[in-house]
Structure 1
Amino acid sequence: MKKRLAGKMASPGPGRRRLVIGGAVLAAALLLFWQHDRLSPRRAPSEDELLAGAPARSANPDPARSLLGDGPKPRFVDPTRTGAGEDGGGSTSLEIAEKRLARARHTLEGYLQATRYPPGARPLSEKPDLQKPHAVQPSTQPLARPDQKLTDARVTLSQDRLYLVGDEAARLAVTCETSEGPARCEVLRAEAKVPASMPQANTLPPAPVVFADDGAGSAAALFAPAKEGFGGYHGPIAIQLDLRIDGEEGAAGFDLVYTPAPPARFTGDVREVLEDGSLCLYVRLAVDKPGRYVVVGRVDDAGGDGFAYLEHNDPLGAGAQEAKMCIFGKLVLDEQAKSPFVLRDVEAFLLKEDTYPDRELVPGRDGPFYTTKAYPESVFSDAEWQSEEKDRHVEEFTKDVKEAEAEVAAAGGDP
């Protein structure tokens, strides 16, 4: 498989310092763009959002799970300042100009590399945590003792999904260990409840959750909100456990987000059309609640290799609607993907801005969803993605390169 996206982008801005500061901001934005949140599909950011360092907002029940983490941020030095210790060691004006030129060229080249494909059709290799639906990475943490003392016991929490809708159930598992190795998990008590921060916290009573010992020291449960008294509730559900591990007692917990009634459903119908050297799939939905829908799917080639991650992010009206997702021609050719293609693991949600939860889930379709016709390689275009935004940014980055070249020449160098 084949080729991976490389390169970083930076943001233009006034003054001599724009390349340094813009590069730092955009590097962080690109990191978010390339490594989507592991919990669920996010809204694909526009180029303006990328360049402004403001990727789309996505609710997360646990802010500590940020991709960038909460650690110290790197310090970026502005090479246009020549005071002691501020230029990496007293660089000459030519050396500073040459560094600025190298950065400007790297920014332009990286941007062109990153925008070969549209935001809605990206290489699946960019998204290692989203290659399969519902992916939630296991979390290992110390047992939380009531007295907050350090503990030798550690808990690993695993769940097969974070978001549930309708009658869906989540599989939850707990494994335990100490410094001596694996240890038996004793679940003393477990209950599901609405977090205190939600308005319904005092109206919905907690529900007991039964964790069964698997015989190997771990414990597991199957939790279906609709069957446990949460059928009319839309929002987060916290499952809190009291545990005993090798004589130590403490707590741990799972987070879930529940949609009681789906706002739309996949009908299973797909219409495929060759458009401008790409293969576009029109996925049919029956929409009860109109609004902006995010629909995503993975695409495998004829050999079963996943190569594309598709995303639709546009408003849909009520009734029978189609979500358009295109397998971009250049992506097919660059990945050397052979048809027929298989659209699989399709997910969707109604995006709700400026509220939490920020989505109402549509029941997904795990596994193969639709198989396309076979097409010769010649029908796919090798042209890179183009847009007015992209043209505007390329023009600005090219201008930065020319200005940096002029600075190098003025300092006596060879640009």
Structure 2
Amino acid sequence: MGWRWRWPAAAGVAACIGLGLIVLVDRGEAVPDTAQAPPSVPPVAVARPVEQPPEDRAARRRQLVEQVRLTDHTYCSYVAHSRYPHESRPAGHHPDQLYPNQPLHETNPMRAEGGDSHPDVQLQTAQSRVYLAAGEQAAFTLRALDANGQPLPLVVTRALAQGMTYGPSRPAPRVAVPFADEGGAWRGTLAPAQTALAGFHGTIRLEVRYQAGGREGVVLFDVIYSPQSPATWSGAPREAVDGGALQFALPLDVRLPGRYVVTGRVDDAAGRPFALATFNEVLGQGAQQVRLQVHGKLLHDGAPRLPLLLRDVEGYLLRENADPDRLLLPRLEGKVFASRTRSLAGVPDTEWQSEERSRYLAEYAKDRAAARARLTRFDPQATLPPAACGRD
């Protein structure tokens, strides 16, 4: 009985083996001879080249051409952007930093204490400055308009300023800030050094409550105050052509050593903003020099009307890992120094160079060369576009 049950299984195995041999023969593949070839040696398959469809080749070529354009654009953009040092930039690159002493103006719907807004009453506000160095003050104004832009009567009912504290810090004192009506606009001035906030360092919030259009509203103003000066300006500025640039040297008597960040604006003889000059270095205690420079290449490229004027210099001592993160220097508002340089003779007309710039240019050039090589390998007849910046 047992052999009758085993026979169908054996026959099935033999049938499967035979079917496999037929399939191999049908495919044109060699049938292994187990008596002659060891089972550990696999048959060798020969890969046949696959012809890429024309539409796929066209898509691949477009992709390679786009890579050439992108790497070329990246390289040339960095060449153009880095031809001047970080501390000497065209004024047009930083339009938001050209007039740091202009008041901040805003117009917003009137807001009630609970957060509700009243769009039919528009509140116009102005704030003279946000950062206050020791002894400085900030002015605030309020006006109310109806939906048609016509003035509405406004009355300030209360204005209190308080230093913002967090966590376990002891609450800062609150001081009243007087406001007065000046012909439809209400104006108030906060001078922390003359109040109980004289020693507070950080953000001071001014809360102004008012009535306008038959409703009561509230508006908030913030200033950041430094109660002490880490250094003081100590002498007359001077100029010199040094290090490939026209430099303005400002003497500074440093009381607290550390990293100082100073920014000045440079106008041409016609009063047009020309450059933004920045100083960012570590200074020791005692007599030091803050050097604000206009790079020679920038002078030759921009061709400003000479002489130049340095104005509106501001700066601070950076306090890393601290809040607030800075101690403000006394600002030098308006005209600071008029240059005596009347020509660019002796001022180099060469691009700025540094280890960082050379390293980045080398990497971007490598990417650009690799993209061009890929396109040439794919299509030897391809015409490579010239570099956008003329540097092949």
Q: Which residue of 2 aligns with 1:86?
A: none
Residue 374, structure 1, aligned to residue 350, structure 2: no
Residue 364, structure 1, aligned to residue 331, structure 2: yes
Offset of residue 196 of structure 1 = 4.3
Residue 349, structure 1, aligned to residue 349, structure 2: no
Identify which of 67, 75, 99 aligns with 1:132.
99
Q: Secondary structure of the equivalent of 2:373?
A: helix
Identify which of 199, 212, 216 aligns with 1:232.
199
Identify which of 272, 275, 280 aligns with 2:239.
272
Is the contact between residue 104 and residue 129 of structure 2 (CA under 8 Å) also seen in structure 1?
no
Offset of residue 194 of structure 1 = 1.4
Q: Which residue of 1 aligns with 2:295?
A: 328
Offset of residue 375 of structure 1 = 3.9
Task: Give the direction of change, closer, same or farther, for the CA distance of 1:393–1:337 in structure 2 (3 Å limit).
Answer: same
Is the contact between residue 263 and residue 315 of structure 2 (CA under 8 Å) also seen in structure 1?
yes
The code of the aligned residue for 2:205 comes to: A
Q: CA deviation digits over 1:105-130, x for unaligned, max 9? A: 11111111111111101111222222
Tell me, in whole angstroms, the C-alpha distance in 2 between the residues paired with 1:157 and 1:357. Answer: 26
Q: Which residue of 2 aligns with 1:185?
A: 154
Q: CA deviation digits over 1:337-366, x for unaligned, max 9? A: 243322211111101112221110011111
Identify which of 283, 306, 309 aligns with 1:316.
283
Is the contact between residue 194 and residue 201 of structure 1 (CA under 8 Å) also seen in structure 2?
no
Tell me, in whole angstroms, the C-alpha distance in 2 between the residues paired with 1:231 and 1:100. Answer: 60
Consecutive aligned runs of 4 or more in structure 1 exceeding 6 Å deviation: none
Residue 123, structure 1, aligned to residue 99, structure 2: no
Is the contact between residue 143 and residue 250 of structure 1 (CA under 8 Å) also seen in structure 2?
yes
Q: Which residue of 1 aligns with 2:387?
A: none
Q: Which residue of 2 aligns with 1:215?
A: 183
Task: Give the direction of change, closer, same or farther, for the CA distance of 1:133–1:330 in structure 2 (3 Å limit).
Answer: same
Question: 5+ unaligned residues in a row in structure 2: which ranges?
Answer: 1-56, 385-392
Q: Secondary structure of the equivalent of 1:143?
A: strand
Tell me, in whole angstroms, the C-alpha distance in 2 between the residues paired with 1:160 and 1:318. Answer: 32
RMSD over aligned CA atoms reads: 2.0
Is the contact between residue 121 and residue 326 of structure 1 (CA under 8 Å) also seen in structure 2?
yes
- Size of the aligned set, in residue pairs, is 324
The code of the aligned residue for 1:380 comes to: V
Q: CA deviation digits over 1:306-351, x for unaligned, max 9? A: 2111111001111111112222111111221243322211111101
Residue 163, structure 1, aligned to residue 117, structure 2: no
Is the contact between residue 230 and residue 256 of structure 2 (CA under 8 Å) also seen in structure 1?
yes
Give me the TM-score of the superposition, normalised by structure 2.
0.78
Task: Give the direction of change, closer, same or farther, for the CA distance of 1:365–1:147 in structure 2 (3 Å limit).
Answer: closer
Residue 172, structure 1, aligned to residue 140, structure 2: yes
Q: Which residue of 1 aligns with 2:64?
A: 97
Tell me, in whole angstroms, the C-alpha distance in 2 between the residues paired with 1:136 and 1:356. Answer: 25
Offset of residue 253 of structure 1 = 0.7
Offset of residue 175 of structure 1 = 2.1
Is the contact between residue 211 and residue 217 of structure 2 (CA under 8 Å) also seen in structure 1?
yes
Q: Which residue of 2 aligns with 1:195?
A: 164
Give me the TM-score of the superposition, normalised by structure 1.
0.74
Tell me, in whole angstroms, the C-alpha distance in 1 between the residues paired with 2:87 and 2:107. Answer: 33
Tell me, in whole angstroms, the C-alpha distance in 1 between the residues paired with 2:367 and 2:217. Answer: 57
Deviation larger for 348-357 or 152-161:
152-161
Is the contact between residue 134 and residue 163 of structure 1 (CA under 8 Å) also seen in structure 2?
no
Larger radius of gyration: 2
Is the contact between residue 108 and residue 123 of structure 2 (CA under 8 Å) also seen in structure 1?
yes
Task: Give the direction of change, closer, same or farther, for the CA distance of 1:116–1:136 in structure 2 (3 Å limit).
Answer: farther
Is the contact between residue 292 and residue 315 of structure 1 (CA under 8 Å) also seen in structure 2?
yes
Offset of residue 267 of structure 1 = 1.5
Tell me, in whole angstroms, the C-alpha distance in 2 between the residues paired with 1:365 and 1:276. Answer: 25
Offset of residue 263 of structure 1 = 0.7
Question: 5+ unaligned residues in a row in structure 1: which ranges?
Answer: 1-89
Is the contact between residue 347 and residue 365 of structure 1 (CA under 8 Å) also seen in structure 2?
yes
Is the contact between residue 163 and residue 197 of structure 2 (CA under 8 Å) also seen in structure 1?
no
Q: Which residue of 1 aligns with 2:28?
A: none
Task: Give the direction of change, closer, same or farther, for the CA distance of 1:91–1:198 in structure 2 (3 Å limit).
Answer: farther
Is the contact between residue 133 and residue 331 of structure 2 (CA under 8 Å) also seen in structure 1?
no
Task: Give the direction of change, closer, same or farther, for the CA distance of 1:127–1:135 in structure 2 (3 Å limit).
Answer: farther
Q: Secondary structure of the equivalent of 2:290?
A: strand
